[in-house]
Structure 1
Amino acid sequence: MTTTTTAAPPGTLDDGVARRSRPVTGRYSWGRTLRYAVLLLSLVLVLIPVYVLVITSFKGPGDAAPARAWSLPTLWTYENWQAAWDTLAPSIFRTLQMVVPAALISAFLGSMNGFVLSRWSFKGANVVFTLLLFGMFIPYQAVIIPLNQLVLGIGIPNGIPTLILLHVVYGIPITTLIFRNYYESVPKELIEAARVDGAGMLRTYLSVVLPISIPSFVVVLIWQFTSAWNDFLFAVFFSSPTNGPVTLALNNLANGALLQNYGVSMAGALFASLPTLIVYIVLGKYFVGGLMSGSVKG
């Protein structure tokens, strides 16, 4: 038995479905080409300073001049990297001792604050949250003198201990905001189930909320690590070249090498930026996902 199929006349539903199902070739080719061209141009503009930075770090004292900024080194040398490492290595390790505890402490404090303000409401919670957010908009320069007097009055040793305290305090507003938005998306039934089982606030936080907070912790840790690592203002006022972070040492290196060898300061800048670059390469794919995880309430 032979079955025959007849094509639907033009204008019918089947014909419309067929036309919609046909692959569109070249319809958006110009738009796609334009997007790629813009992206490529943006990439080139971003990489131009990096190119100058890298090639200058391999140039000798006579070769590293502004007139030859775009030229490749006449003689490739690694002495700049060795000199920069010898100068910056102690301050790099001091900076690690500062940013790791500062990021961890501020992240945990922000997590607890965000949980209490979002799921364990109390009278005046919105006022407290508003006052915390107000701390994000106070410029560092406006409170440097009061902070200096406060630190002197407390008696905290100058240098890394003082910088840890300052970065923790100034990190609490942004970490609280991120965690509060994230915990707002956590289903209320999950918290209520813990309460029914007899868990208090601390038990609920440790056993239920904290294990599901990894995305926000990744965002906060990256944010705080980068902010503390790149800070220069607090480093100038609350530390010295002998006990300060890498940004202060890099500034002294650049001023000392400015009229002698640009290559040393360029190599030092690459050393100083390498840890934050590694953090973004390793954890960057989790950053956007964690940042958006609390943007939609579920």
Structure 2
Amino acid sequence: MSSTAITEPSGPRPKHLTVGRIGLYAFLVIAALFFLIPLYVMIVTSLKPMDEIRLGNLFALPMAPSLDAWFKAWSSACTGLNCNGIHVGMLNSIKILVPSVILSISVGAVTGYALSFWRPKGANILFGVLLLGAFIPYQVFLYPLVRMLSMVSLYNSIPGVVFVHAIFGLPLMTLLFRNFYAGIPIDLFKAARVDGGGFWAIFLQLMLPLSTPIIVVAAILQITGIWNDFLFGLIFAGRENFPMTVQLNNVVNSSFGEKEYNVNMAATILTAIVPLVVYFVSGRWFVRGIAAGAVKG
């Protein structure tokens, strides 16, 4: 009597649609539309002349697409009495962004490393104070910071607003790096100590090369947060150093006769380009950094 073995077909099994899977797909589609529809309206409006915009067809494609609104938003849109466009604010934003990101990440990495491995006296108290600073509303500190920066001649200047961004970014950066370093085996640190490594040698030669995922996460958070900031730029930068977000506000709220919605939409997209590019280019690294320990602890 012979028996035949029943073999299952090779390859991945087909995925059957379930109620849960249908609900998940529906949620993803609705979420995508929630963000893509406003972006679509902004793009098509920025490409329309005002004659088409007055027709009121919000979702209609432009009949005669034109980049005139983009060029005007960039180079000649008026912010109050000055009609230099929004490009002036981009240069100021870059001057504020680069040193703020470097300073906040550098100090946060060193502080998180020290609190994870070296544990100085009062480390828990210091960490608690830093965490407390992350949850106190910024508005509480505005007036004291204005007075302090005025006393040291940093008010209404690029260094002043860089200092403010670095200070307010420090709690989050310290938390990220401390939790990341807490996931590194302590035996690795002890072995480096046995080999004679000091504080800076271990940090620069051992910990920093391992920190690429969390540095990417920290950079994305700081770049988007600082670039999109309006409050600190308005209060601490000074009129000559207004970042792009403040310039955008001035463009939108400065009107002479007719409200130019196409120019306003183009200026808004130009202001958002940097954080959008950062997310699109490094989004995969952001997910890897989160998985590697950004939320451990």
Given the two structures, how large is their TM-score scaled by the length of structure 2?
A: 0.89
Find out whether 1:168 has 2:157 as its counterpart.
no
Q: Give 2:107's aligned residue.
A: 109
Q: Return the alpha-carbon distance in structure 2 between the equivalents of residues 173 and 228 of structure 1.
A: 15
Q: Give 2:135's aligned residue.
A: 137
1:44 offset after TM fit, Å?
Answer: 1.7
Tell me the number of residue pairs that the alignment of Structure 1 and Structure 2 aligns.
Answer: 287
Distance 1:268 1:126, change over 3 A: same
1:71 offset after TM fit, Å?
Answer: 2.3
Q: Return the alpha-carbon distance in structure 1 between the equivalents of residues 102 and 186 of structure 2.
A: 27
Letter in 2 for 1:276: P
Give the alignment partner of residue 99 of structure 1, picking from 87, 97, 100. 97
Letter in 1 for 2:24: R
Q: Return the alpha-carbon distance in structure 2 between the equivalents of residues 201 and 264 of structure 1.
A: 53
Q: Return the alpha-carbon distance in structure 2 between the equivalents of residues 201 and 26 of structure 1.
A: 53
Letter in 2 for 1:237: I
Q: Report which of the two structures shows the higher radius of gyration computed on alpha carbons.
A: 1
Q: Return the alpha-carbon distance in structure 1 between the equivalents of residues 241 and 36 of structure 2.
A: 33
1:45 offset after TM fit, Å?
Answer: 2.1
Q: Secondary structure at the match of 2:161?
A: helix
Q: Return the alpha-carbon distance in structure 2 between the equivalents of residues 248 and 118 of structure 1.
A: 39
Q: Give 1:262's aligned residue.
A: 261
1:280 offset after TM fit, Å?
Answer: 0.8
Distance 1:243 1:216, change over 3 A: same
1:14-25 equivalent positions in 2, closer than 5 A? 25=14
1:142 offset after TM fit, Å?
Answer: 1.5
Q: Give 1:151's aligned residue.
A: 149
Q: Give 1:38's aligned residue.
A: 27
Q: Is the 8 A contact 1:80 1:267 kept in 2?
A: yes
Q: Give 2:205's aligned residue.
A: 207
Letter in 2 for 1:70: F
Give per-residue Cα distances to partners, 1:109-165, cap 9 Å, x unaligned: 000000000111122110000001111011111211111111101111513221111
Distance 1:269 1:297, change over 3 A: closer
Q: Is the 8 A contact 2:156 2:236 kept in 1?
A: yes
Letter in 2 for 1:280: Y
1:40 offset after TM fit, Å?
Answer: 1.9
Q: Give 2:118's aligned residue.
A: 120
Q: Give 2:178's aligned residue.
A: 180
Question: 287-296 or 226-235, which moves further after superposition?
Answer: 287-296
The alignment yields a C-alpha RMSD, in angstroms, of 2.5
Distance 1:124 1:161, change over 3 A: same
Q: Give 1:11's aligned residue.
A: none
1:260 offset after TM fit, Å?
Answer: 2.4
1:213-232 equivalent positions in 2, closer than 5 A? 213-232=211-230
Q: Return the alpha-carbon distance in structure 1 between the equivalents of residues 145 and 158 of structure 2.
A: 15
Find out whether 1:6 has 2:15 as its counterpart.
no
Find out whether 1:286 has 2:285 as its counterpart.
yes
Q: Secondary structure at the match of 1:228?
A: helix
Distance 1:55 1:297, change over 3 A: closer
> Percent identity of the aligned residues?
37
Q: Give 1:277's aligned residue.
A: 276
Q: Is the 8 A contact 1:88 1:250 kept in 2?
A: yes
Give the alignment partner of residue 249 of structure 1, picking from 247, 250, 253. 247
1:48 offset after TM fit, Å?
Answer: 0.8
Q: Secondary structure at the match of 1:267?
A: helix
1:241 offset after TM fit, Å?
Answer: 4.1
Letter in 2 for 1:52: V
Q: Return the alpha-carbon distance in structure 1 between the equivalents of residues 107 and 59 of structure 2.
A: 47
1:270 offset after TM fit, Å?
Answer: 0.5
Letter in 2 for 1:226: T
Q: Is the 8 A contact 2:73 2:266 kept in 1?
A: yes
Q: Return the alpha-carbon distance in structure 1 between the equivalents of residues 182 and 243 of structure 2.
A: 37
Q: Give 1:63's aligned residue.
A: 52
1:5 offset after TM fit, Å?
Answer: 4.4
Unaligned runs of 5+ in 2: 76-84
1:216 offset after TM fit, Å?
Answer: 0.7
1:35 offset after TM fit, Å?
Answer: 2.8
Q: Secondary structure at the match of 1:69?
A: coil
Q: Give 2:39's aligned residue.
A: 50
Q: Give 2:80's aligned residue.
A: none
